[in-house]
Amino acid sequence: MDKLLEKYKNLNPDSSIAKIEKTAQDLKRRQYMPPFILEVKDFLHMTKEKMLEEYKRVMDLSSEDNELKSVISIEDPNDIKIKHLTTLLNQYLLLCGLREGDPNSWDIINELYEDD
């Protein structure tokens, strides 16, 4: 968990508000929403600060929390937390690439949402 927390803390600074909003609008038109294990509020506007807040929120969930208990495919609450936070981090890194106009990131989205 310490390595995962370090990755969260070492995220690059946020894109400009204008880039965040434009990317969110572009992705909403595609009805883009990555699959997360736990609920993530307003992912398309996620910032580094919000990522750190989500990390803390998830890590603070008790093993008896209904949010964790509702996951039926994974039994161990710590495994749920790790898998969710890892998926969230990977999707956020993709989102950051989209915000900065990275062609490889957009290729991934276009392949998933347009090319089929």
How many C-beta atoms lie closer than 10 Å to residue 114's C-beta? 8
* 41-89 pLDDT tens trace: 999 999 999 999 999 999 999 999 999 999 988 889 999 999 999 999 9
- Which pTM value belongs to this model? 0.91
Token pair listed for 102: 């990275």
Token pair listed for 40: 């993530």
Each domain of the chain, given as residue ranges in start order, spans: 2-113
* 26-44 pLDDT tens trace: 999 989 999 999 999 999 9
Where do we find the tokens 């883009």? 32
Q: Which of 79, 107, 88, 100 is nearest to 23 (CA)?
A: 100
SS3 call for 114:
coil
